[in-house]
Amino acid sequence: MSDASNNSDSDEQKDRVNKRSSTSGSATGPPNKTSKSWYQQPFNNNWLQEPELKDWIEADSKDKYIVRCKVCDCSLSNINKSSLLTYKMTQKHVKNFELKQQMTNIKTFFTTTKPPSLREQVAKAELLLVAFMAEHNIPFSQADHLVEVMKKMFPDSNVAKYIQMKRTKSSYVMQDGIAREEKEDITKICQNNKFSLIIDESTDISITQILAVVVRYYDEKKCQVVDVFLIVLRLKIQLQKDCIIR
Ligand SMILES: [Zn+2]
């Protein structure tokens, strides 16, 4: 590491020769008591690679002869590497640095900085696709074609490239994934809240008697009464009209 600044700055540096006594806010005392003047050093970008400096210094946008301390939120003038290292050991800076680190530790409890992996992104896309098809009554058999079209539509997408979602997997993901999770959630709600059941019997195309069960309850998050579909039961006997299930 060298404290020398860029050569391109040398002319300007000569213009910025200062008397030590005439400056204020210096990071440290005079580097050498015998010298009466010295060259001001501009911010050196190499410092941002220095392990002892990179965490807390930044350049000043207006004055290149100033170093900003991010920890104490203050400006330092008359800087060079050794003066910065001396400043780093001051009581004020050490204390602020410790406080800042504690704050950062607390923050990590609330934020997850890790971006989702490709595998997670693909899984999310597959779930969204199946949920979309179910919500809009699109037959799962269409998944075979839809996924192929999407791969052609988004050739630059890694997620589209790895989506594998044909009709068999679609119905599996819906029945054993999304629907099972939903059913468990609704069951838990019913265990802890007052609710009513709405049932409707009908006959499907294979002449099977089916009974749709819908749960009505008060959703505390939405602050309103909601109806959610719970299950379809296959019936062995036909229910009497106006029969009440208790
Ligand atoms: Zn500081």
pLDDT tens across 135-149, in order?
999 999 999 899 999
Distance 64 CA to ligand 1 centre (A): 18
Instruction: Identify the residue with better confidence: 218 or 108.
Output: 218
Segment 40-45 mean pLDDT: 86
Write the burial class of residue 91 (CB in 10 Å: 0-12 exposed, 13-18 middle, 19+ buried): exposed
Q: Using the mean position of ligand 1's atoms as its centre, give its distance from the Cα of residue 10 in Å.
A: 28
CA of 54 to the centre of ligand 1 (A): 12
| Distance between Cα 228 and ligand 1 center (Å) | 57
List CB contacts of 216: < 8 A, sequence separation 6 or more. 195, 196, 197, 198, 225, 226, 227
Strand extents, DSSP E, the chain: 18-19, 37-38, 57-59, 67-69, 74-76, 195-203, 209-219, 224-234
Provide the mean pLDDT of the chain: 81
Instruction: Give 59 Cα–ligand 1 centroid separation in angstroms.
Output: 14
Q: Report the separation in Å between the CA atom of 52 and the middle of ligand 1, taken as the mean of its atom positions.
A: 13
pLDDT at 76 over 80: yes
1-5, 186-190, 217-221: segment of lowest average pLDDT: 1-5
pLDDT value at residue 37: 58
Beta-carbon contacts of residue 232 (< 8 Å; ≥ 6 apart): 210, 211, 212, 213
For residue 16, is pLDDT > 80? no
